[in-house]
């Protein structure tokens, strides 16, 4: 017995080679999943994932881990549902426990219009084969005894949509599981390696300049979330993205009290309880743009007051930690996945406040896109040129501040 | 909490203000001649810099007027504020 001292490393830390068949920039969950599926599904093994800090240190390790697929429009419903199906087999596929827990997700409605939108969304979901139903305040109270369904408060709970297959997963484990899986196929995961410019010749990408030297490749997939405008600027084109701080907090650990996920768009709060016992609480974005990875004090106050109105019993629980990520928001609250004006250069970004749930599905479609040079059927509609054609996919109702 | 200097009212708490996005985006003239790409650039594309950003704020709970600010998007420090139609003092008044 060595008391957990002599575990072998779950992935290698190789020196970067001079050349790869493909480079993935960004070692978050999406970048690592992309590399994993490129190796597993497309037989590409000479790949590097370049991460400026440590893998999973961006939004992947900072989010509140809610997973669901109940989006309104067909394009997004199909993409997020693909991801949900992958989640359902992910621990087995990776042979790594990502602690995916389908404890159900409630999206609360507080006004008559909220309820109409919820009914419409649940109907659309069911037509797309996605589970969900509309529940009354009494049904919510029966499932979540501590919730406040008093109809006299400022934003009373009038009902909710419920997706039973929704839930949460362990965010770090998702990054580590995909990293270990990709590494097994020979993918080089290179940390502390920041991309500082994107090399091009005759309109095609030829590699990247990094803090660890020049690395050549005819294919570069950029998956850097909040930093996508910075990388697009290096490549010489513009993005319809604004990066905002988004924060979350956890309470001190308490005994099991909440066995599902509760979210509310209208009052800007969502809460679940981790296996450790802390209440995991998420806020809305700060209105201004920012790369500072921290949120405003007023944001915490706003969220906590909403949570305490929903769950008066939480009012005396203490906050333990608070942190922020940088989320890449788009005008239609949908991601941008696909080709760019530069040949061989692909972008996967714009997941904003809600991309953790999409991690496996995003990696799956982007692997196809980078490997074949053509979008997968599921990501075709999410091309950058939808902002030129005008074919936006307005998911503000299902995405918005909620995750 | 940010302390923001409204060019009309002086220093006030962040909670009195609303953010109003990138500044100095001029609506193109002769819009009937714009291509779809030019429209997309005007409507949707944003600088979103990591560093100094020129942006608009609205003093919602004060004088209710818009103004511009130069802010560092990493430290969140506001370097200067100036009226709509002006340029930051680092560039002289327009
Ligand atoms: C507080 C918070 C709560 C959230 N809650 C939820 C939720 O409940 N459910 C949900 O579905 N989503 C949620 N999200 C959104 C979700 O976290 C993200 O959409 C998702 O994790 C994005 O994954 P990613 O791999 O694309 O990005 P990231 O994990 O951010 O990875 C991008 C990586 O790129 C690296 N990088 C950047 N620039 C460079 C460079 N020049 N060179 C090399 N590497 C670079 C970064 O260091 C980073 O590690 C939340 C986000 C936050 C911040
Ligand atoms: Zn004022």
- Residues in A 283-322 with any Cβ partner in B closer than 8 A: 287-292, 296-298
For residue B51, give the 3-state DSSP assignment: coil
Look-up of token digits 């979008």: A375
Separation of A286 CA from ligand 2 center, angstroms?
A: 21
Mean pLDDT in residue range A195-200:
98
CA distance A181 to chain B (A): 33
Q: How confident is the model at residue A64 (pLDDT cuts 50, 70, 90)?
A: very high
CA distance B42 to B54: 16
Rounded distance between C-alpha atoms, residue A63 and residue A328, angstroms: 13
pLDDT for A384 beyond 80:
yes
Q: Helices (H), strands (E): how many in chain B?
A: 1, 6
Say if residue A53's pLDDT is above 70: yes
A153-196 tens-digit pLDDT: 889 999 999 999 999 999 999 999 999 999 999 999 999 999 99
Q: How far is the CA of B58 from the centre of ligand 2 (A)?
A: 8
Using one digit for the tens of pLDDT, what is the confidence trace for A220-243? 999 999 999 999 999 999 999 999
From the CA of B61, the nearest ligand is: 2
pLDDT value for A218: 98
Q: Please report which confidence band the pLDDT of residue A399 belongs to, taking 50, 70 and 90 as the band edges.
A: low
How near does any CA of chain B get to the CA of A385, in Å? 9
Query: By the CB < 8 Å criterion, does B77 face chain A?
Result: no
Residues 236 through 265 of chain A touching chain B, CB cutoff 8 Å: 238-243
Per-residue pLDDT band for A403 (boundaries 50, 70, 90) equals low
Written as one string, the DSSP assignment of A297-320 is HHHHHHHHHHHHHH-GGGGGPPEE
Distance of alpha carbon A174 from alpha carbon A78, whole angstroms: 21
Closest residue in chain B to residue A295, using alpha carbons only: B1
Among A52, A231, A233, A291, which would you mutate to test the B interface (most chain B Cβ atoms within 10 Å of its Cβ)?
Answer: A291
A32 CA to middle of ligand 1, Å? 12
CA A226 to ligand 1: nearest atom: 30
pLDDT higher than threshold 60 for residue B92 = no
- Positive or negative, the Cα torsion across A217, A222, A224, A228? positive
Distance from CA of B91 to the nearest CA of A (A): 23
On whether the CB atoms of residues A392 and A399 are closer than 8 A, the answer is no
Q: Is the pLDDT of residue B93 over 60?
A: no
Q: How confident is the model at residue A365 (pLDDT cuts 50, 70, 90)?
A: very high
Q: pLDDT tens for residues A252-302?
A: 999 999 999 999 988 888 999 999 999 999 988 999 999 999 999 999 999
Residue range A119-142: mean pLDDT, rounded: 98
The per-residue pLDDT for A397 is 75
Contact status of A230 with chain B (Cβ, < 8 Å): yes
Tell me if A282 CB under 6 Å of ligand 1: yes
Task: Please report which confidence band the pLDDT of residue A106 belongs to, taking 50, 70 and 90 as the band edges.
Answer: very high
Is B38 part of the contact surface with chain A (CB cutoff 8 Å)?
Answer: no
How far apart are the C-alpha atoms of A398 and A396, rounded to whole Å?
6
**pTM metric for this prediction:** 0.97
Q: pLDDT category, B23, cuts 50, 70, 90?
A: very high
Ligand 1: does its nearest atom lie under 6 Å from the Cβ of A399?
A: no
* C-beta atoms of A243 and B48 within 8 A: yes
pLDDT tens digits for A79-103?
999 999 999 999 999 999 999 999 9
User: Residue B88: its pLDDT value, please?
Assistant: 87
The predicted structure's pLDDT at residue A156: 96
- Whether B53 contacts chain A with CB within 8 A: yes
Pairing type for strands A66-67 and A167-168 reads antiparallel
pLDDT at position B90 = 73
């Amino acid at each position: 017995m060595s008391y957990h001292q002599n575990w072998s490393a779950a992935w290698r830390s190789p020196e970067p080679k001079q050349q790869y068949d493909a480079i993935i920039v960004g070692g978050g969950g999406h970048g690592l999943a992309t590399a994993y599926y490129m190796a597993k599904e497309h037989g590409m093994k000479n790949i590097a994932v370049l991460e400026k800090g440590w893998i999973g240190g961006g939004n992947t390790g900072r989010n509140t881990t809610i997973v669901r697929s109940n989006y309104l429009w067909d394009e997004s419903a199909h993409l997020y549902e693909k991801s949900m199906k992958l989640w359902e087999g992910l621990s087995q596929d990776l042979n790594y426990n990502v602690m995916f827990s389908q404890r159900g997700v409630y999206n609360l409605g507080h006004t008559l219009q909220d309820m109409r939108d919820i009914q419409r969304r649940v109907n659309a979901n069911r037509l797309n084969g996605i589970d969900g139903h509309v529940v009354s305040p009494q049904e919510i109270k029966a499932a979540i005894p501590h919730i406040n369904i008093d109809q006299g408060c400022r934003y009373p709970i009038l009902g909710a949509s419920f997706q039973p297959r929704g839930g949460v997963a362990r965010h770090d484990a998702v990054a580590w599981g995909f990293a270990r899986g990709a590494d097994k196929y020979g993918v080089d995961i290179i940390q502390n390696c920041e991309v500082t410019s994107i090399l091009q010749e005759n309109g095609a990408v030829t590699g990247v300049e990094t803090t660890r030297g020049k690395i050549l490749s005819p294919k570069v997939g950029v998956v850097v979330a909040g930093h996508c405008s910075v990388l697009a600027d290096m490549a010489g084109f513009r993005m319809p993205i604004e990066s905002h701080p988004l924060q979350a907090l956890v309470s001190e650990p308490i005994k099991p009290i909440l066995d599902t996920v509760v979210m509310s768009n209208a009052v800007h709060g969502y809460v679940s309880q981790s296996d450790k016992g802390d209440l995991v609480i998420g806020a809305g974005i700060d209105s201004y743009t920012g790369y500072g990875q921290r949120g405003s004090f007023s944001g915490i106050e706003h969220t906590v007051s909403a949570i305490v109105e929903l769950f008066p019993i939480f009012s005396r629980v203490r906050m333990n930690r608070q942190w922020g990520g940088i989320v890449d928001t788009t005008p239609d609250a949908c991601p941008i996945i696909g080709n760019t004006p530069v040949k061989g250069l692909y972008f996967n970004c714009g997941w904003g406040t809600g991309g953790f749930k999409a991690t496996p599905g995003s990696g799956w479609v982007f692997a196809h896109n980078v490997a074949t040079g053509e979008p997968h059927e599921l990501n075709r509609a999410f091309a950058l040129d939808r902002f030129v054609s005008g074919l936006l996919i307005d998911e503000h109702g299902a995405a918005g501040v909620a995750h | 909490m940010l302390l923001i200097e409204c060019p009309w009212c002086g220093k006030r708490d962040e909670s009195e203000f609303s953010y109003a996005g990138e500044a100095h985006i001029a609506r193109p003239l002769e819009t009937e001649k714009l291509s779809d790409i030019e429209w997309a650039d005007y409507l949707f594309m944003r600088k979103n810099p990591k560093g100094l950003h020129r942006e608009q704020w609205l003093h919602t709970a004060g004088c209710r007027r818009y103004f511009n600010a130069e802010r560092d998007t990493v430290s969140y420090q506001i370097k200067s504020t100036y009226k709509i139609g002006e340029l930051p003092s680092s560039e002289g008044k327009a």
